[in-house]
Structure 1
Amino acid sequence: MAGHSKWHNIQRRKGKQDAIRGQLFTKLSRDIYLAAKEGGGNPETNFRLKVAIERARQNNLPADNIARTIAKATGTLQGVSYEELMYEGYGPYGVAIMLDIVTDNRNRTAADVRHIFSKRGGNLGEAGCVSWMFHRIGAITILKEGCPMSGDELMLQALEAGADDIKEDEDSYLVITAPEAFKSVRDALEGAGLTLEDAELTYQPDNWMTLDGEQAEAVMDLIEALEAHDDVQNVYTNFEPAD
């Protein structure tokens, strides 16, 4: 029985890992699809596609999947058509949440997301209910490892290119830009020989809401459930756990 139990646990864990990998592959493929649909299928001239492909390769998405997804997006291969949506709502304790949605069936996705919110003490709201609490920024990540510049040199380079700020943590630098300056700063940093780990337009809250204990756990449970849904590409929130 012990041997059977061990094998059962291994299979269950493997099944869970396979499901997580499949879910990740779905999200990566949709990123590639939307990037190629928006800016064409050449990653040399479409930076969003270039970043999406690099992220997919880092997570071992097969090359055939990448090529097939680009072909679908550019019309050379028939397939489903996706649309991008933004959902807004409130989590437990009034935490603000925004979701980037990519779906081929908005009615199904809305019902799923509404159920996830309501089951965990939140509610899906109307457009504009929380977006006023956030602002759009450009975020460019550069790893310290392999960076040819010091932090001071990178800051000078970024600010001269039009960046608003640069933040540093243990492993990386984060360059913050206004949305309209994002492309020019990104191009300038690449032109200076820097390798960008990530570069995207994202949302940042104007003010953070700090929770701890059971309150933080309740919010994290909702966020994790939303992130686990295939159609949710990104989750933005003004919640941060207490130290």
Structure 2
Amino acid sequence: MAGHSKWANIKHRKGAQDKRRSKLFSKVLKEISVAIKENNGNGDPETNPALRNALLNARGVNMPKENIERAIKKATGAEADNYEYISFEGYGPHGIAFFVECMTNNTNRTVANVRAIFNKNNGSLSTNGSVEFLFDRSGVFTIDKEGLTWDLEELQLELIEAGATAFENEDDIFTVYTAFSDFGNMSTKLESLEIEVRHADLQRIPLTTNELPLEEAKDIIKLIDAFEDDDDVQNIFHNLELTDELVEHLEG
């Protein structure tokens, strides 16, 4: 999984950062809504771990406090949005596997949009289970190294005891991976160590990745961007290898 976290950190939106910021806000607001709904309307982060994690992610994208408070108030009220989780599996061009996670209040709309995005970008929507086996569901915790007082080697030993399975140490980011079942344990451990987490979620990590020539890889980036432009799409996972050449293109 080396280099996996780079996908989330590369600045390749080419002037569309405001749009990206709006998308991140929308994603977190849905996380807050679902976290409260699935815990019987509980809007207290002290007793609702899912909400606590959603609020952590809200702070990680610098969401204003008033937006967060408004989202909690709405989600605990009678007019709360009724979102549900739905996932899709398929293939992009050149045989790259995709797993797309959505949060929607209109399943028919979302199904139609996802199918259209695949079709318009030379991909195809497949049946459930067709690509899921190509990914491992893992907990991923992203930590800013700036301000981190721990020695990284000592920290890794502490986190291995809590279920850490792998680490990435790149530039100003330190990323911790856990098994799906240890997500809660790791979250609690990091809290106990007073380590502030920028982002924490469950991701689908490809077991193997496929390397493509740059021109073909650009077709995959186009498909990823199309999914990111859809309001219902929360997460996109794929098994394209992030080569040095592709990194240079994305950062250009």
TM tier relative to shorter chain: 0.7 to 0.9
**8 A contact 1:92–1:122 mirrored in 2:** yes
Report the equivalent of 2:196. 195
Report the equivalent of 1:70. 72
2-side partners of 1:62 and 1:189: how far apart? 24
**8 A contact 1:211–1:241 mirrored in 2:** no
55 and 123 in structure 1: CA distance in 2 versus 1, 3 angstrom threshold = same
Report the equivalent of 2:3. none
1:201 alignment partner, SS class:
strand
TM-score, normalised relative to structure 1: 0.85
1-side partners of 2:183 and 2:202: how far apart? 8
Matched, 1:55 2:57: yes
Report the equivalent of 1:149. 150
Alignment of 1:224-239 (within 5 A): 224-239=225-240
Matched, 1:170 2:171: yes
Alignment of 1:1-243 (within 5 A): 21-39=21-39, 40-57=42-59, 59=61, 61-74=63-76, 76-243=77-244
1-side partners of 2:126 and 2:98: how far apart? 10
Larger radius of gyration: 1
Determine what percentage of the aligned residue pairs are the same residue: 40
1:158 partner letter: L
2-side partners of 1:79 and 1:191: how far apart? 33
1-side partners of 2:17 and 2:147: how far apart? 31
2:237 partner letter: Y
1:164 alignment partner, SS class:
strand
1:32 partner letter: I
- Name whichever structure is richer in helix by fraction: 1
1:127 partner letter: N
CA deviations over 1:2-54 (Å, ceiling 9, x no partner): xxxxxxxxxxxx9x776555444322211211122224311223343233234
CA deviations over 1:131-153 (Å, ceiling 9, x no partner): 01011111122221111211111
Greater RCO structure (CA 8 Å; 6+ sep): 2
CA RMSD after TM alignment: 2.3
**8 A contact 1:71–1:77 mirrored in 2:** no
1-side partners of 2:172 and 2:22: how far apart? 28
**8 A contact 2:33–2:80 mirrored in 1:** no
1:50 partner letter: R
1:121 partner letter: N
Q: Higher mean Cα deviation, 208-217 or 46-55? A: 46-55
2-side partners of 1:17 and 1:156: how far apart? 37
2:81 alignment partner, SS class:
coil
145 and 63 in structure 1: CA distance in 2 versus 1, 3 angstrom threshold = closer
1:77 alignment partner, SS class:
coil
Structure 1: 5+ residue runs without aligned partners? Answer: 1-13
2:31 partner letter: D
1-side partners of 2:167 and 2:62: how far apart? 30
**8 A contact 1:136–1:178 mirrored in 2:** yes
**8 A contact 1:137–1:177 mirrored in 2:** yes
**8 A contact 1:226–1:235 mirrored in 2:** yes
187 and 57 in structure 1: CA distance in 2 versus 1, 3 angstrom threshold = closer
1-side partners of 2:174 and 2:193: how far apart? 15
2-side partners of 1:88 and 1:193: how far apart? 38
166 and 81 in structure 1: CA distance in 2 versus 1, 3 angstrom threshold = same
Tell me the matched-pair count. Answer: 229
CA deviations over 1:116-170 (Å, ceiling 9, x no partner): 1100110111111110101111112222111121111111111122222222111
Report the equivalent of 1:4. none
